[in-house]
Homo-oligomer: A and B are copies of this chain.
Amino acid sequence: MSLPDIKKDFSGWYQEVVYQAELADQSPVRGTYVIRPYGYRIWELIRGELDNRIKETGHENALFPLFIPESFLKKEAEHVEGFAPEVAVVTYAGGKKLEEPLVVRPTSETMVHYMFARWIKSWRDLPLKINQWANVVRWEMRPRVFLRTTEFSWQEGHTAHETALEAEQEAELMWKEYISISQNYLAIPVFSGIKTEQEKFPGGDRTYTFEAIMPDGKAVQMGTSHIISQNFAKTFNMSYQNRDGELEYPYLTSWGVTTRLIGALLMVHGDQKGLILPPRVAPIQVVIIPIMKKGIDNKSLLDAIAKIESELIKIGIRVHVDDEEQKTPGAKFYKWELKGVPLRIEFGNRDLEKGVVIAVDRLEGNKKSIILNEVITEIPSMLNKIQEQLYNRAEKKVVEMGEKHKKLETFASRFSKEGGFYVTTGWCGNPECENKLKEYKGSIRCQIDSKEFENCFNCDDKSVTDVIIAKSY
A residues neighboring B (CB under 8 Å): 25, 27-29, 32-37, 40-41, 43-44, 60-69, 72, 84-95, 101-102, 104, 111, 114-115, 118-119, 124, 130, 134-135, 137, 139, 141, 151, 153, 326
Contact = CB atoms under 8 A, between A and B. Distances in A.
Contacts of A94: 85-88, 139, 141
A29 B65 contact: yes
29 contacts: A25-B118, A27-B64, A29-B68, A34-B64, A34-B65, A35-B62, A35-B63, A36-B62, A37-B60, A40-B61, A40-B62, A41-B60, A44-B61, A65-B151, A66-B151, A67-B137, A84-B95, A85-B95, A88-B90, A88-B102, A89-B93, A90-B90, A90-B91, A91-B91, A91-B92, A92-B101, A93-B139, A94-B139, A95-B139
A333 to B, nearest CB: 19
Given A69-B29, A102-B29, A61 B37 contact: yes
A153 B85 CA distance: 28
A41 B60 CA distance: 8
Contacts of A37: 60-62, 130
The number of times this chain is found in the oligomer is 2
Contacts of A44: 61
Contact of A89 (B64, B90, B114): B90
User: What 6 pairs between A and B have smallest CB-CB spacing?
Assistant: A94-B139, A37-B60, A32-B65, A88-B93, A89-B92, A35-B63
> For the complex, would chain A's binding face be called helix, strand, loop or mixed by DSSP majority?
mixed
A34 B62 contact: yes
Greatest chain B CB density within 10 A among A68, A87, A90, A130 is at: A90
Contacts of A68: 29
Nearest to A94: B139
A69 B130 CA distance: 34
Nearest to A149: B65
Nearest to A87: B93
Contact of A28 (B33, B89, B114, B326): B114
Contacts of A151: 65-67
A91 B89 contact: yes
Contacts of A84: 95
Contacts of A93: 87-89, 139
A69 B93 CA distance: 15
A355 B469 CA distance: 66
A378 B227 CA distance: 47
A193 to B, nearest CB: 30
A105 to B, nearest CB: 11
Contacts of A92: 88-89, 91, 101
A64 B68 CA distance: 22
A31 B153 CA distance: 23
A135 B66 contact: yes
A153 B86 CA distance: 25
Contacts of A27: 64-65, 111, 115
A447 B91 CA distance: 40
A86 B365 CA distance: 55
Contacts of A85: 94-95
Nearest to A326: B124
Given A89-B93, A104-B104, 10 more contacts: A27-B64, A28-B111, A29-B102, A32-B66, A36-B62, A40-B62, A67-B88, A67-B137, A87-B93, A124-B326
